[in-house]
Amino acid sequence: MSVFTKILQVSCFISSLLACTGPSREQSQYIPPQKLPISYTPMELDSLYEPLYRDSFILQEKHDEFRHPVEQQFPMEQRLAHNTWILEFTWRIKADSLITVWYIREADTLRILDRFRYSEYDEF
């Protein structure tokens, strides 16, 4: 066996040993699982994420595109009546991710109308 072949075999053996001892790709890029809400109640979301703000608005016609999906859940007569209050709560999920959930009060509870996850840098 030539010297070149022996050097090649030894270098391959050393390379394979080094590859086995280093952190694997899966270990180095491990991201812990994110807790996902089940009920989307304000209390549950407060316990999982950082609360940012709570707002309310009167349902009406022609909201901006951010609130438009919520508006479309109601008949035109109710939108034109201007007497339905919608609660809008927002939480920070990650450094640049937010979630907004819209509720309507029904008796002593809040009913979820819609929820929206988005980047903090999105423009509406």
The residue among 117 and 62 whose pLDDT is bigger is 117
Q: What is the pLDDT of residue 26?
A: 47
Query: What per-residue string of b and e applies to 30-54 under the rule 16 or more CB within 10 Å gives b?
Result: eeeeeeebeeeebeebeeebeeeee
Of 17-21, 23-27, 75-79, 88-92, minimum mean pLDDT range: 23-27
pLDDT at 121 over 60: yes
Note if the pTM is more than 0.85: no
Please say if the pLDDT value at position 25 is more than 60.
no
- With a CB cutoff of 8 Å and minimum separation 6, the contacts of 56 are 85, 86, 87, 88
**Segment 73-92, tens digit of pLDDT:** 999 999 999 999 999 999 99
pLDDT at 1: 60
Residue 110 CA to residue 29 CA, distance in Å, equals 39
Whole-number average pLDDT of the chain: 83
